Each structure stands twice: as structure tokens, then as C-alpha cells.
Amino acid sequence: MTLSSPRKSVCFCLLLLFGFAVAPEPGAQAQDWVRTGTNLGVSKIRIAAADFKATTADTQTAGMKSAFDQTLYNDLRYAGIFDVVSKSMIPNTTPGTPQEMQVAQWSAEPSNAAMVAFGNLGVNGGRVNVQGFLFDTHSTTNPQVLGKQYGDTATVEAARQIAHRFADEIIQTLGGIPGIAETKIYFVSNRSGSKEIWVMDYDGMNPRQLTHLGTISLSPRVSPDNSKVAFSSLGKNGWSIRMFSLDLNRLVAFPAWGGTTLSPAWSSDGNHLAFSSARSGDPEIYVTDPSGQGERRLTAFRGPDVSPVWNPKTNGQIAWVSGRTRLPQIYIMDADGANITRMTDGGYATSPSWSPNGQFLTFAWNRSYGPGAPGGEDVYIMDIASKRWTQLTHDSGANDFPSWSPDSRHIVFQRQQGGHTEIWMMLADGTDQQQLTHGDGSNTQPDWSWK
């Protein structure tokens, strides 16, 4: 993966927030509400990741160790809660076991690490075995925080997945909530020649094509239990919701409604789907159970109503996009269609995603949209209770379809620049932007898995 942008300093971040947040309170506090709400608020723990020690000496081990080391290092960097010691500043040793670890070397300048991850990796009888440890460098008597052991079939891919699991253990232990290193990103790619549904690891590795429909498939949304992907697809009779079973690795039945039916969204308990359908002749928001039965219509207003998303904390509210006043705006209503509240105050606002903690929306917004207007399409975050918002992307192409990570710390989105659309991720305060796909067709509409 290309590390496209260096991490921006806290100062720069502060400046951006001060400059762009329309908040009744000063900018410094605006930064507080973003960082606290996205679990990014506490000061970052300085952590070092030692290169793991190879316990077998052959080229297969070397390849797996290299993938493991790189993956673990990146996972810790992307986590958003660590200040990861650069590889050039760590001690020139490779401790493979607790006996070989001398924490004083790691707590000293220049690495200055509070925590150090280390261990060993070897291949035996076609299996890769990994021992991973996390030590607190300031504890001389009982420094071990974690000790884990992993085994799997000896492949580079397995070594990467073990690194993700070890990274998530560290992140859970030190960050208090589950990490995202084992999560997936579902997306649309036309690299096969038509727009199909794909899935990749959260770091952009390991892409895999799910559908082979040869038409246009859009808007993948994975179910909370990772068993199914709902999406919309163009058939002879227009757009309908289709359902792909990840367990069976094939399409499963879902009723086809007449009229343009698209943009499915799962409730976080997996018990409901919301989507847009024009079966009445006008696009409206409907809710059904996961098999497409028991329909309820929620909206009844002329004009486009599309892109619903549930409040995953309560499943009691739905945010969606409506063109009832002409240009699309973000609205929120109760899950029975009552209490409609408009959230955005103008421009062209689309593609909402609701943070797992229920506190924020992220969405795409072009605040000065209009014929000939030079506005940019950027990703924004809004605190729902106060409607205060902050712009997360700036002057970098057209950005759309932000989707929250399950830890509320990250956002994945699509960015169109120079005719190419690629998938990027960033921390939920707009820093640490990383490009995940690289020039293989057009890659759009990312959807972050729930776990």
C-alpha cells in the first residue's frame, strides 16, 4: 500500500477545524467534539513494532515474515490511537521471545516507546506458527501485557491475516474497543469490464470479485452478521435489490419490485432493510424484513427519496436523501416515518452514513453547487444533536459515499481525480488519508463491514 500522505500535525488539524467548522463555539472546542466522538480524543500511545524473529530459515518463511511485519506495522499506524515509532528509530535488535526482550532499549531515546510489540514466526510441516507479545516498557517487574500464539496454513495471505488478528488484540487491549484490522470493505469496481460487487481487506489488500452479472451493480451493503450483501442491479425491468450470500457464494432470492428499486440499508440488528423504490411512480423509502416481506412505506412526498441509512445505535431513526425542495438534502426521520428533520441547510448533500455510536452523520456535500458554480464535492461530518459540521476533505477531487468503520474512528470514501475514481480511507477527523485501490478500473461506493 502506498502511504500517500504524511500524517498531518495536530496544529494543522486544529487550523482546519477552526477555519471550516460553523459552530457557535470556538474552533478548539469543535475539535474536541469530533475527536471525542470518534474515539480519537485521548493522547496517542507511542508504540514500537519490532520486526519478528524468523525461527526457520528458508525463503518461504522470509516472504511470510515480510508480509507479517509490514501488515502489523500498517495496522498499528492506521488504528488512529497510536504514535507508531518509525522503523528507522527502533533498536537494531530482533527479540523473538520475552527472554530476549530488553525493554530499556525500547523506552530509551530515540524510539521512546511506551509499548513494544514483538515475537517470532516460523514454518513447520506446512503450517505457519506465530508467537506475538506486547510489553509495557515502563514496567520492569511485569512488563507483559499480551502473549498470543497463532497457527495457520503456511501462506503469505495467512501470515497477513495473523498480523491483522494480533493487531486487533493490541488495539482492543490499549484502545478499549475492537480494532478494524480484520474488517472488510465492499465496493463496486468495473475492472472486469462491468460494474460488479467486490470485497477487499480494510487495507486494500486481497480484492475478490463477488458478482458476475455483466450489467451494472451498485450500492453494496453487507449485513451485520457478514452473511449477505444486499445491492442494486440493473435488469431488463430496471433496478431491483439483489442479495448475495457470502456463505453460499452465490445470489439468493429477493423479491423484485416494479419501478426503480435501489440503495438498500441494513438495520444493525439485521432485522430490517430500508431502501428506495419507485413502485408507486415516485421514489420513496420503504422498509421490509430481510427477505423483502412485510413492507412499510415511510415517505410520501413528490421527488427523489433515496439512500436511507439506519441509526445503528438505536435502529429507531433513518437518515436519507430527499429532493423534495429541489437540490438533494439530508433528512432524518423516525423509523415509522414521523418527525422529519432536515439536517443540511443547502447545497447538494448526498450519501449519508451513520456512525456506529449514533452520534454523527458523514455525507458528501457540495455547499456551492449550481450551474457553473465552482464548488467541490467533499466529505463532511455532522454532530446530529447540534447539527454542527466539519469538512474532512479539501481541494482533492470529488469525494462521495463515505462509510463509517465499526470503531467510529475511520471513514472510507471514494475520490474522483483526473478521471479516475479510487477508494480512500481516513481518520474520522480527516487526517491520515490513505489510498486503498490503485488504478484498476473505477472503484466506487465503499461499504465498511460491521465487524
Q: Interface with other proteins by CB under 8 A: which residues?
A: 195, 216, 218-219, 234, 237-239, 259-260, 262-263, 276, 278, 281-283, 303-307, 321, 323, 326-328, 348, 350-351, 364, 369, 371-372, 377, 400-401, 444-445
3-state secondary structure of 318: strand
C-beta of 122 vs 283, nearer to other proteins: 283
> How far apart are alpha carbons 107 and 137 in whole angstroms?
6
From the CB of 260, what's the least distance to other proteins, in Å? 4
From the CB of 184, what's the least distance to other proteins, in Å? 21
Preceding peptide of 110 cis, ω within 30° = yes
C-beta of 262 vs 381, nearer to other proteins: 262
C-beta of 131 vs 276, nearer to other proteins: 276
E strands in 282-417:
284-288, 296-297, 305-310, 317-322, 329-334, 341-342, 348-354, 360-366, 378-383, 388-391, 398-404, 410-417
C-beta of 6 vs 372, nearer to other proteins: 372
C-beta of 65 vs 367, nearer to other proteins: 367
Residue among 122, 95, 96, 97 at smallest CA distance from 111: 95
Largest Cα separation within the chain, whole Å, is 72
C-beta of 259 vs 358, nearer to other proteins: 259
Question: In sequence order, which residues have a C-beta less than 8 Å from that of residue 296 and are 6 or more positions away?
Answer: 286, 287, 288, 336, 337
> How far apart are alpha carbons 103 and 113 in whole angstroms?
9
b/e 81-117 (16+ beta carbons within 10 angstroms → b): bbbbbeeeebbeeebbeeeebebebbbeeebebbbbb
From the CB of 370, what's the least distance to other proteins, in Å? 8
For residue 50, what is its C-alpha cell?
519490532
Residue 120 in contact with residue 130, Cβ under 8 Å? yes
State the alpha helices, DSSP H only, in 203-323: none
From the CB of 261, what's the least distance to other proteins, in Å? 10
C-beta of 165 vs 279, nearer to other proteins: 279
> How far apart are alpha carbons 360 and 33 in whole angstroms?
10
DSSP state of 37: H
Checking phi first, is residue 107 left (phi over 0); if not, alpha (psi -120 to 50) or beta?
Answer: alpha
From the CB of 263, what's the least distance to other proteins, in Å? 5
Residue type (1 letter), 241: I
C-beta of 312 vs 328, nearer to other proteins: 328
> How far apart are alpha carbons 230 and 216 in whole angstroms?
14
From the CB of 440, what's the least distance to other proteins, in Å? 19
Residue for grid cell 451493503: 221
From the CB of 185, what's the least distance to other proteins, in Å? 17
From the CB of 80, what's the least distance to other proteins, in Å? 27
> How far apart are alpha carbons 432 and 70 in whole angstroms?
17
C-beta of 408 vs 444, nearer to other proteins: 444
From the CB of 134, what's the least distance to other proteins, in Å? 43
From the CB of 237, what's the least distance to other proteins, in Å? 8
C-beta of 41 vs 303, nearer to other proteins: 303
C-beta of 69 vs 400, nearer to other proteins: 400
From the CB of 349, what's the least distance to other proteins, in Å? 9
Partners of 435 in the β-ladder: 424
